[in-house]
Each structure stands twice: as C-alpha cells, then as structure tokens.
Chain A
C-alpha cells in the first residue's frame, strides 16, 4: 500500500516559538534528525507522535497536519481577518 504524503506546519510553529530542532526533539521524544525529516515532510509520523506534537504545540492535530498542501499561517490569518472585516 502506498502511503499518502502528509503536509505539516511543524517548522513554522517551531521557528515561531524560537526552538531549535534539538529542543523540539527533546520535548517530543525523538532524534533531532527525525524533526528534520518531519519538517521536510519526508516522513509521516505515527498517530502517537502526531498527538505528541499537537499536545506540545497546543493545537489540534488537523491544524498541524493535513493531506493537502498547507497555506502559510500568515495567509490563513489574513483570510481570517478579511472574513471578519467582510461581516462587519
């Protein structure tokens, strides 16, 4: 069975919190190289690791991981602001 590629926001979230790969790796219990693989989207994490990551960043799993390509967080925020302004 061929697995689907999972897209994620790990790099953006890590950089935004000013963490190094090693610091994040220590927090989620993997090797720093694995964080690199996750950030490059070369490796699909297990459900357990995905939940550990989401618990660490305090975001829902579906916010961090997706099966379709993700917009940058700033773009998402801009859309949200535009939507809220449109309602006013």
Chain B
C-alpha cells in the first residue's frame, strides 16, 4: 500500500513536471530542448508508473467496471472514490483557470493559451483520480473474474 502511495505521488508529480516543462517549451525560451527532454522524460515516468499503479494493482479495472459487475463493497468504494475525485478535479480545474486569468491579467505570458499537453493531462487526470483516491486510502484492489 505504501508502494502505491509512493507511485501515485511519482505519477502525479511527473504529470505536473511535464506540464511545467511544456509550458516553458510553449513560451519559446532558450534551451527549449532541455524542457522538451524534461517533458518527454516526465511523460515516460507517467507511463511507467501507470502500469504497476493502476493496471497491475487492478484499480483501473475497478474504477472503470460497470456497476453490475461490482459487489456492494466495491460499489461503495468506487462511489466514494468518484465523489472525492470529482471534488479534487473541480478544484484543480478552477485553480488552473484562475492561474490562466492571472497570467493574462498580469501580461506574464500572453502567447500561452491552454495547450494540448494540458488538456490531455486533465483528461488523463479525470480518469486516474478515482484510482489515486483508492490507492491512497485502501491499496491494491485486485478482482478475480
């Protein structure tokens, strides 16, 4: 379980690093190859940690299974994870929107708009966040079928 907690921290931190790196790539600053490299390396870390964290642990299957395939404990667990992650995801989106409005107002980086990596990251996050909640609180959720 500790291992899954650690992996979820690494996975989400790598996602954050990837977005920061690509933000600098989009800004077109010097040494963009460095940021490119950091962005791609972070993407690899996200992909590598995804396998043990969500796939091998069975958490992905659990959070994406149809309701009629789950028993009552699993239903309660996924319901809890979905409602928790919904709250967190809403806060994350609102913070990003606030940051963008701040960036625009302060004229820090007017050429930077919502980028493809950011949108892709948010889509990824919306899918994995319930799993992160389960990994964080309960650990492995292997299902036998």
Q: Is the CB of A33 within 8 A of B142?
A: yes
Inter-chain contacts of A33 with B (CB < 8 A): 141-144
Q: Is the CB of B71 within 8 A of A34?
A: yes
Distance between Cα atoms of A29 and B72 in the complex (Å)? 10
B36 close to chain A: CB less than 8 A = no
Interface size, B (range):
under 10
A30 close to chain B: CB less than 8 A = yes
* Minimal Cβ-Cβ distance residue in B for A22: B144
Inter-chain contacts of A46 with B (CB < 8 A): 72
Inter-chain contacts of A56 with B (CB < 8 A): none
B73 close to chain A: CB less than 8 A = yes
| Chain A nearest CB, measured from B64 CB (Å) | 16
Quick one: which of A33, A43, A49 has the most chain B CB within 10 A? A33
A37 close to chain B: CB less than 8 A = yes
Chain A count of residues within 8 A CB distance of the other chain: 13
| Chain B nearest CB, measured from A2 CB (Å) | 15
A27 close to chain B: CB less than 8 A = no
CB < 8 Å: which of A22, A31, A45, A49 contacts B74? A31
Distance between Cα atoms of A49 and B75 in the complex (Å)? 14
Inter-chain contacts of B141 with A (CB < 8 A): 33
Within 8 A of A (CB), among B124-145: 141-144
Inter-chain contacts of A30 with B (CB < 8 A): 71-73
Quick one: which of B70, B71, B142 has the most chain A CB within 10 A? B71
| Chain A proximity mask over B60-77: 1 for CB below 8 Å, otherwise 0 | 000000000011111000
Inter-chain contacts of B71 with A (CB < 8 A): 29-31, 34
* Minimal Cβ-Cβ distance residue in A for B142: A33
* Minimal Cβ-Cβ distance residue in A for B145: A31
| Chain B nearest CB, measured from A46 CB (Å) | 5
Could you give 5 example pairs across A and B, Cβ below 8 Å? A30-B72, A31-B70, A33-B143, A34-B73, A34-B74
Where the two chains meet, the residues of A that have a C-beta atom closer than 8 Å to any C-beta of B are 22, 29-34, 37, 43, 45-46, 48-49
